[in-house]
A and B are shown apart, each in its own frame.
Chain A
């Protein structure tokens, strides 16, 4: 079970997407795991042949525990699979999904079930009872709408739908609380802010967007992300992780893009190698990432790879972001709204769109001087939007 964030302790296994005997390549999605950040497609980190699937659906698995065995370097996958005893509890081995929850066994009786797991009399069809077991719904809490006060399948599904968002939201709130508490406890933040005149950059982008089809329009945030990634080249101390008492530089400019979710909560999945993507590529990747983040279809590498986080609250009308670093990262870039303000250029007061860019950084790794250099470089790059294309 991979760690998909600093404070993840376990994940609940959902399903396999590969069969024993199947060749798997590093980076391939092999299974789905439910985490506090929603369902995540787990990419395998080693190539080989899948020998044995150990994790079963519904199983809660601590980070670091074995989920599957892989034959590598020409090993015989069948021999590996045969050498391993049956997987441990909580469930028996097999390919059939089995919920480990203490759900009642399948009832075959009709309107008068032998021992309904509820107090009082609940009328429920066998099919609806089965569905309730599958979805983990407590029948005593379901509102009946069927004939003679019986619970229908639709009632069960409605109850399941009503139950889920609250649980996942609470879990996500816990995850955010844990990560942010750790950040405020362990990371000595320092904060810097710069007002950046983005009039030229925004105008340049508006001109570009006016002559392309609507599907190829680029949002200003994509241009800002590109500028952040390029500015980081000169400030490697802001891009990476603080682990075991030492700074480890990130392997690339993988910007975690803070995405607020409908109904509450947020995730900050990675856009990979932002400095190497063209603006059009970046926008396409951003669209894909935002879409999947909001529909709960992120990949494991996107949750574990961000080397720095960018929070853009400009859409909400916020001027300045005072960011809390997401551990084990060492910096966060905050971007506010672009607001029309008076600006002095060559002794003249002119209207210009201005963005407040802020940096929250880890004082164990860098100092204000370095942070300042980053913001100055970010400003310089945003004055040359064509160089960001």
Chain B
């Protein structure tokens, strides 16, 4: 799957909105941790990753949760993960 950065960002935001429908991304600081800003607990976070997996087919390993702190950082990380997956094919 060859996804653009915007497509990955949209998939992530859509996944977050499914869990936190009241989230206002215009108020979100993209360089600050997302979970604290949107009250996302570990259960919500796992749900978001499950939704993301259904949308774009990436499985974020638990060991990499720390790379998904900010919105921008998460998109960077997901792009790398997708690139690694496609080069492995």
- Interface residue A217 (Cβ < 8 Å from any Cβ of B): yes
CB of A255, distance to nearest CB on chain B (Å): 15
Q: With a CB–CB cut-off of 8 A, which chain A residues contact B50?
A: 214-215
A219→B53 contact, CB < 8 A = no
Question: Does A99 reach chain B (CB closer than 8 Å)?
Answer: no
Q: Report yes or no: A210 in contact with B62, Cβ–Cβ below 8 A.
A: yes
CB nearest to B39 among chain A residues: A262
Taking a contact as CB atoms under 8 Å apart, the answer to whether A287 and B59 are in contact is: no
* Pairwise interchain contact B41-A214, C-beta atoms closer than 8 A: no
Would A219 and B43 be within 8 Å (CB), given that A262-B20, A262-B22 are in contact? yes
When the two chains form their complex, are residues B62 and A209 in contact, meaning their CB atoms are under 8 A apart?
A: yes
* Interface flag for A54 (CB, 8 Å): no
Contact A206 B62 (CB under 8 A): yes
Does B4 touch A at the CB level, under 8 Å? Answer: no
What class of interface size applies to chain B in its complex with A?
10 to 19
Chain B residues near A206 (CB-CB < 8 A): 62-63
CB-CB nearest in chain A for B60: A214
The answer to the question of B69 belonging to the interface, with a C-beta cut-off of 8 Å to chain A, is: no
Q: CA of A290 to CA of B45 in the docked complex: distance in angstroms?
A: 13
Chain A contacts for B46, CB-based, 8 A: 214, 217, 219
Q: Which residues of B contact A215 (CB under 8 A)?
A: 50, 53
A260-306 with Cβ < 8 A to chain B: 260, 262-263, 286-287, 290
CA distance A215 to B42 in the complex (A): 14
- Closest Cβ of chain A to B30, distance in Å, is 21
* Interface residue tally on A, bucketed by range: 10 to 19
Please list 26 pairs of residues, one from A and one from B, whose beta carbons are closer than 8 Å in the complex, sorted by A's number.
A206-B62, A206-B63, A209-B62, A210-B61, A210-B62, A213-B59, A214-B46, A214-B49, A214-B53, A214-B59, A214-B60, A217-B46, A217-B62, A219-B42, A219-B46, A221-B42, A260-B41, A262-B20, A262-B22, A262-B39, A286-B43, A287-B43, A290-B43, A315-B41, A315-B42, A316-B41
Residues of chain B touching chain A, judged by Cβ–Cβ distance below 8 Å, are: 20, 22, 39, 41-43, 46-47, 49-50, 53, 59-63
Chain A residues near B (Cβ < 8 Å): 206, 209-210, 213-215, 217, 219-221, 260, 262-263, 286-287, 290, 315-316
Other 20 A-B pairs with CB < 8 A, given A209-B62, A214-B46, A219-B46: A206-B62, A206-B63, A210-B61, A210-B62, A213-B59, A214-B53, A214-B59, A215-B50, A215-B53, A217-B62, A219-B43, A260-B39, A260-B41, A262-B20, A262-B22, A262-B39, A263-B22, A286-B43, A315-B41, A316-B41
